Structure 1
Amino acid sequence: MTPQPAQVHPAPFPGFPGSSDGRPQTIVLRPSAWLRGAVSLFVALASAAVFAALAPRMGGWHAVLPACAVFAGLALWAVRQDRAAPGALKVGPDALTVWDRRGTLLCQGRVAGCSQWSGWLLMLALVDDNGRSHPLLLTADALPADARRELAVLGRRGAHGGL
């Protein structure tokens, strides 16, 4: 299955570039190849570490079964996490709404904080009406650069109470 290009609709309010009518901006996220690669490497290294730790104690052939069990468990976890990953964001003037790829609402709230690691990762903290925090990790290859910049600006404004 090939990833579809991200679709960006009109911006959430007149201050955003390209906003002409003030409607909320919907951003469709692409699956992150970078994140999938990192998780796959983690699964392989964890399985190899289990094998390397148990092989001297149990023997090579007997250590294969626990290593395969760890591999299967972590691979299942990785697939479940990938399916539950955010698929779309809707940026409104006072809230950010996040859905998975099946259209299920994951979280909704105001942006309360932001952390950015170079141009690769953007971490947003969303706070819902109950005061509960929801972290949102976005990779550079999952959304367009202009949308990532605008979300980073919203995150910095939220961290300083400017929303």
Structure 2
Amino acid sequence: MRYALIDNDGELHVKDAAWPDIARELGEHGTAAVRLAQATPLRGFRGHVSDCGLAMPDIYPRNVIGSLVLFSLEGGIQPYAGPVVITGFATLPVPDVTGLDQDMLDLVRMAHSDVRRALAGNPEPDPAHADEWKPGEWRQWAGEQPELAELVRTGQAPGIRIIRGTDLLGGGL
């Protein structure tokens, strides 16, 4: 299965492996899925990160480039730590992780290139896909990336609030 890996240094790698090997790329502490954009009604992208990444900063540093690429593919805006993997995801016949086809891989590469260019302060998108941007759209998007990068670097990890079942149901049980 073909997938994209964004390492902790922000470099993009394209690899082929079966899911157990892909999961090992994320570390030994489990994986968490990140819902991303749909490429078609039946097929989309799926991000994968370490399940414990934000709780173990000594092992899993925050991945600024990987987080921003996930954001650009419609992932939730929050810090992500450790390596970031992007795969395909099929919704039918049963939900399942799939490999990236060439069009999907091209979109991941474009997102990665645009994030790096924006953080480097480039005033224009990559000429190879500049026609994908509407006039003025790149500058606005690129201008938002440094603030989002700072959120990834310094923002709080999302919290979990545990609610007892009786409290959730109004205490009527």
Q: Same fold (TM over 0.5)?
A: no
If the TM-score is normalised by the length of the shorter chain, which range does it land in? under 0.3
TM-score norm. by structure 1 comes to: 0.27
**Which structure is higher in helix share?**
1
Higher relative contact order (CA 8 A, sep 6+): 2
Q: What TM-score do you get using the length of structure 2 for normalisation?
A: 0.26
